């Protein structure tokens, strides 16, 4: 196995979209094309997902590569809420009818930077502008140090029933290096409180490969996590990308990071510990208890994946509100302005604040579906495609290395990824990524696959 890890541990996409972001922005995309794509999607009149990016944080975590604005000035909250609701109004105008929302996720940044009262204003504004599907499921990302009972109660009153807490690691040396110091007692309090309030799913996010982190640190963190028994666990690989402007990964040296072999051992032993304690592997980086909706959806092969990660909600249109948010109309993608000032300026012009995107070709849509199948079902059927013979031959050629290494099987055009091979799923998806294979971007744009 170690030889395969060495062979396949290369820079590669995480496939929250296809094509991946470095291949967006060709001549087919424009602001008007995006509006037209949204209108085309609106014809279906199906429920949508809503992602809302709340970028503010009071302090900088040096492991984080998300778009954020560091400030202790909470006066920024209300102007930002006003902007979010205006952006939703602009989308509603394009649709021409009141949207039905099936899924809302508050991400960041730190959503609980906002006061409970201001979160209520935001959500009240959203609910006034939309219909809520009967099977809707709302979730948010909580910081263990500042998520209060009032936050949890207000959000639960507005139909939120899922929360994920960023834990990362419990070791003090690691916490100091990443500037994310939080105690086990804080995590226990917000986990227990969420359940008392009525949340049906509590998740913990852990990271391996952090500076100064050892295998024992990982095992200790997972041991403490199991004590609290969260319904879901995201077990992420730390993506070290300090060259990306503004991501804040400057609190430690490259030499402080565990080497590739140690990092892989952290994952393998951590994964085994999770599985030994009743957690099932859902897909890339994600685990859940058997009775959790994600586990059930994986077994029923109804799992979906979008920019928010794995979800049980089968929507093909996601609207991203807020600075840097990405929208997905299935036939095209668009990302909002990354700088807060530019975001506000575009809204003043009564324009949806997108600055780049991609309109998918027929071939893009075909390949996108196969990659989505692999990410959510660990299988796909090449006979269910309109790809031309040359493209299919290229994909078969690219997959041959995985057949040779006994990682997948192909039977009558049906591709199946073995359970033991799930760690290599990003590499297997890369075999379908003809854009990536034709033109390799700067590898620093991607994290390592394993």
431: CATH:
1.10.10.920
Any known ligand binding at 141?
Answer: yes
Q: Determine if residue 429 is labeled as part of a ligand binding site.
A: no
Structure tokens at 255: 């030499």
Domain identity same for 404 and 262: no
Q: How many domains does the chain have?
A: 2
Angle at Cα 218 formed by Cα 144 and Cα 294, nearest 5°?
65
- Cβ neighbours of residue 387 closer than 8 Å, sequence gap 6 or more: 363, 366, 367, 395
CA distances from 29 to 17, 283, 356, 406, 443 (A): 16, 32, 8, 40, 24
Residues 336 and 407 in one domain: no
The answer to the question of whether 168 is labelled as a binding residue is yes
The pLDDT assigned to 45 comes to 73
Give SS3 for 246: coil
* Pairing relationship of beta strands 286-289 and 232-237 according to DSSP bridges: antiparallel
Query: Are residues 206 and 321 both part of a single domain?
Result: yes
Instruction: Enter the pTM of the model.
Output: 0.92
61 is an annotated ligand-binding site residue: yes
Dig out the tokens for 189 from the structure. Answer: 């309090």
- Same domain flag for 355 and 366: no
Residue 444: the pLDDT is 55
326 marked as part of a ligand binding site: yes
Do residue 353 and residue 383 come from a single domain?
no
**Does residue 13 fall inside a structural domain?**
no
Positive or negative torsion for Cα 75, 81, 86, 87: positive
Residue with tokens 């006061």: 115
Give the CA dihedral 202, 418, 304, 241, nearest 10 degrees.
70
Establish whether 66 is an annotated binding residue.
Answer: no
- What is the spatial distance between Cα 195 and Cα 295, in angstroms, rounded to a whole number? 20
At 245 the pLDDT is 47
Q: Is 51 annotated as a binding residue?
A: yes
Residue ending a domain, among 359, 394, 410, is 359
Residue at 207 is within a domain:
yes
Identify the domain boundary among 359, 375, 404: 359
Residue 57, marked binder: yes
Instruction: State yes or no: 83 annotated in a binding site.
Output: no
**Residue 264 is assigned to a structural domain of this protein:** yes
Kindly state whether residue 353 falls inside one of the protein's structural domains: yes
**pLDDT of amino acid 316:** 80
Q: Tell me what pLDDT residue 445 has.
A: 58
Residues 99, 219, single domain; the answer is: yes
Looking at the structure, do residues 355 and 369 belong to the same domain, yes or no? Answer: no
Residues 57 and 114 both lie in one domain? yes
> Between helices 215-228 and 184-197, what is the axis angle to 10°?
30
The H helix count followed by the E strand count for the chain is 15, 19
Q: What is the pLDDT along the chain (450 residues), one digit of tens a residue?
A: 768 877 887 778 888 889 988 888 666 789 999 999 998 887 777 899 999 999 999 998 888 888 899 999 999 999 999 999 999 999 999 988 899 999 999 999 999 999 999 999 999 999 999 999 998 989 999 999 999 999 999 999 999 999 999 999 999 999 999 999 999 999 999 999 999 999 999 999 999 999 999 999 999 999 999 999 999 999 988 876 664 544 455 567 888 999 888 988 999 899 999 999 999 999 888 999 999 999 999 989 888 888 878 888 888 899 999 999 999 998 999 999 999 999 999 999 999 999 999 999 999 999 999 999 999 999 999 988 888 999 999 999 999 999 999 999 999 899 999 988 888 999 999 999 988 888 766 555 576 766
Element (H, E) at 164: strand 160-168
My answer on whether 308 and 171 are in the same domain is yes
Inside any domain, residue 85: yes
CA-nearest of 308, 350, 358 to 329 is 358
Last residue of a domain, one of 359, 381, 405: 359
Q: Looking at residue 199, which CATH number applies to its domain?
A: 3.80.30.20
Q: Are 308 and 302 in contact (CB under 8 A)?
A: no
Q: Establish whether 209 is an annotated binding residue.
A: no
Residue 4 lies in a domain: no
Together in a domain, 76 and 213: yes
Domain-located, residue 413:
yes
Query: Could you give the CA distance from residue 372 to residue 306 in angstroms, rounded to a whole number?
Result: 9
For residues 119 and 112, give the distance between their C-alpha atoms in angstroms, rounded to a whole number. 8
The domain in which residue 92 lies consists of 20-359
Helix (H, G, I), strand (E, B) or coil at 145: coil
Q: Is 64 annotated as a binding residue?
A: yes
The beta strand positions in 284-405, using DSSP E, are 286-289, 304-306, 309-311, 318-321, 326-328, 332-336, 354-359, 379-381
Question: Is the domain of 306 the same as that of 375?
Answer: no
Vertex 153: Cα angle to 148 and 154 (nearest 5): 100
Residue 3 included in any domain: no
Q: In angstroms, how far is CA 14 from the centroid of its own chain? A: 9
Is residue 232 helix, strand or coil? Answer: strand
Give the pair of three-digit tokens for residue 398: 């690219």
Domain co-membership, 323 together with 411: no
Contact 142, 163 (CB under 8 A): yes
């Amino acid at each position: 196995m170690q030889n395969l890890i060495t062979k396949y541990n290369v820079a590669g996409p995480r496939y929250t979209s296809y094509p991946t972001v470095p291949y967006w922005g060709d001549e087919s995309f424009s602001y008007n094309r995006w509006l037209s794509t949204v209108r085309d999607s609106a014809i279906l009149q199906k429920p949508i997902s809503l992602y809302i990016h709340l970028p503010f944080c009071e302090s900088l975590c040096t492991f984080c590569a998300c778009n954020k604005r560091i400030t202790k000035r909470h006066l920024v909250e209300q102007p930002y809420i006003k902007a979010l609701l205006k952006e939703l109004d602009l989308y509603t105008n394009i649709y021409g009818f009141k949207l039905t929302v099936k899924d809302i996720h508050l991400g960041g940044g730190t959503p609980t930077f906002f006061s409970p009262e201001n979160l209520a204003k935001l959500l009240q504004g959203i609910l006034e502008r939309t219909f809520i599907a009967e099977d809707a499921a709302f979730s948010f990302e909580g910081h263990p140090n500042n998520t209060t009972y009032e936050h949890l109660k207000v959000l639960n009153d507005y139909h939120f029933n899922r929360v994920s807490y960023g834990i990362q690691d419990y070791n003090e040396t690691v916490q100091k290096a990443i500037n994310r110091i939080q105690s086990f007692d804080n995590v226990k309090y917000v986990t227990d409180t969420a359940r008392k309030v009525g949340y049906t799913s509590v998740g913990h996010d852990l990271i391996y490969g952090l500076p100064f982190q050892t295998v024992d640190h990982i095992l200790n963190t997972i041991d403490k996590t199991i004590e609290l028994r969260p319904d879901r666990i995201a077990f992420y690989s730390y993506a070290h990308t300090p060259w990306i402007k503004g991501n804040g990964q400057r609190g430690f040296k490259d030499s402080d990071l565990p080497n590739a072999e140690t990092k892989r051992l952290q994952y393998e032993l951590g994964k085994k510990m999770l599985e030994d304690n009743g957690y099932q592997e859902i897909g890339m980086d994600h685990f859940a208890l058997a009775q959790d909706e994600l586990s059930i959806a994986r077994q029923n092969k109804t799992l979906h994946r979008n920019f928010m990660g794995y979800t049980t909600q089968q929507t093909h249109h996601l609207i991203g509100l807020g600075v840097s948010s990405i929208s997905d109309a299935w036939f095209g993608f668009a990302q909002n302005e990354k700088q807060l000032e530019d975001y506000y300026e575009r809204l003043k012009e009564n324009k949806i604040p997108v600055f780049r995107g991609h309109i998918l070709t027929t071939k893009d849509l075909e390949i996108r579906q196969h990659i989505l199948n692999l990410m959510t079902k660990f299988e796909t059927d090449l006979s269910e495609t309109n790809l031309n013979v040359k493209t299919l031959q290229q994909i078969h050629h690219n997959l041959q290395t995985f057949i040779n290494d006994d990682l997948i099987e192909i039977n009558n055009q049906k591709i199946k990824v073995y359970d033991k091979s799930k760690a290599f799923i990003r590499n297997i998806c890369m075999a379908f990524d003809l854009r990536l294979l034709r033109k390799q971007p700067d590898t620093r744009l991607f994290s390592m696959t394993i």
